[in-house]
Amino acid sequence: MSGIFYGIGVGPGDPELLTVKAINIMKEVDIIIAPKTEKKDGSVALSIARPYLKKDIEIVYQVFPMVVKFEESTAAWETNKNEILALLKAGKKIAFLTLGDPMFYSTYIYVYRLLEHEGFPIETIPGIPAFCAIGSKLGYPLVEGNDILSVIPATADPEKIKQVMAVTDNVVLMKVYKNFSSIVDTLVENEMIDNAVMLSRCGLPDEVRISDLVAEKDKKVNYLSTILARRK
């Protein structure tokens, strides 16, 4: 019997924002794969999904290096791939959990690429990205009319970020934890700071909202932080 691999987006943090399809699949699978980094013991994605898991579900933790290009750390990725393949060959139904949406800046994308030509069925279940949840939570329209929205990873080349922000109407800035201060400066330069807001750990118990980004620009920012901004 052949196994099946599911990639499930668990959304930004609130367990009630999971889709009905995601919940139904998680109740049926044999194994949950919970991704984590080397520096953290737990899995945020797993904590979000846990209310819907079977009591006897098998949970497999896999460590994924935080690198820009996964090809640069092939050993860890191959180890995880082989572990997944062994479970699939044993006929297991596996759900890989990921924050937000599986096809949006997700570790799952790399896992999917490693498995897509291995002959096993794969189904990807979409989830709500953090910036969509933040917009709804704060009553902050992401785009209106003919607005152009740019989604920018703050870890990108600073000059490239400035070029995009110079021509776009609205921005979503993700991964702002590494260079928050310089991102705030760029928002000021592009006259977006007055309409900028940041939410950290959206939907989780320790969620934090920062509206005055300039006053907080030297603050250490949580990894799960997203900025929404638009021009005056």
| Residue span of the structural domain in which 145 resides | 130-230
Does residue 119 share a domain with residue 137? no
pLDDT (mean) for 41-66:
89
Does residue 138 share a domain with residue 121? no
The pTM is what?
A: 0.89
pLDDT (mean) for 103-120:
94
Last residue of a domain, one of 125, 160, 177: 125
Determine what percent of the chain is predicted with pLDDT higher than 70.
94
Q: Name, in order, each residue with C-beta under 8 angstroms of 14's C-beta and a sequence gap of 6 or more.
A: 48, 133, 202, 203, 204
Residue 114: CB atoms within 10 Å: 18
6-34 pLDDT, tens per residue? 999 999 999 999 999 999 999 999 999 99
pLDDT of 39 > 80? The answer is: no
The predicted structure's pLDDT at residue 77:
83
Does residue 150 share a domain with residue 134? yes
Total number of domains constituting the chain: 2
Q: What is the CATH classification number for the domain harbouring 185? A: 3.30.950.10
CA distances from 125 to 57, 70, 81, 146, 223 (A): 19, 22, 20, 29, 24
pLDDT of 225 > 90? The answer is: yes
Q: Give the model's confidence band at 67: pLDDT under 50 very low, under 70 low, under 90 confident, else very high.
A: low
Q: Which residues partner with 40 through β-bridges? A: none
Last residue of a domain, one of 77, 96, 125: 125
pLDDT (mean) for 48-52:
95
**Mind spelling out the 3-state secondary structure of 95-136?**
EEEECECCCCCCHHHHHHHHHCCCCCCEEEECCCCHHHHHHH
pLDDT (mean) for 216-221:
91
Bridging pattern class, strands 4-9 and 93-98:
parallel
Residue 112: CB atoms within 10 Å: 17
The predicted structure's pLDDT at residue 14:
95
Does residue 23 share a domain with residue 10? yes
Average pLDDT of the chain is 92
From the list 211, 214, 69, 204, the residue with the least C-alpha distance to 223 is 204
Q: Which residues partner with 31 through β-bridges? A: 58, 94
Does residue 166 share a domain with residue 75? no
144-185 pLDDT, tens per residue? 999 999 999 999 999 999 999 999 999 999 999 989 999 999
Last residue of a domain, one of 75, 103, 125: 125
191-213 pLDDT, tens per residue? 999 999 999 999 999 999 999 99
The predicted structure's pLDDT at residue 70:
53
| Alpha-carbon gap, residue 162 to 139, rounded angstroms | 27
Does residue 165 share a domain with residue 80? no
54 three-state secondary structure: coil
Q: Which residues partner with 60 through β-bridges? A: 33
From the list 179, 45, 183, 21, the residue with the least C-alpha distance to 111 is 45
Residue 89: CB atoms within 10 Å: 14
The predicted structure's pLDDT at residue 25:
97
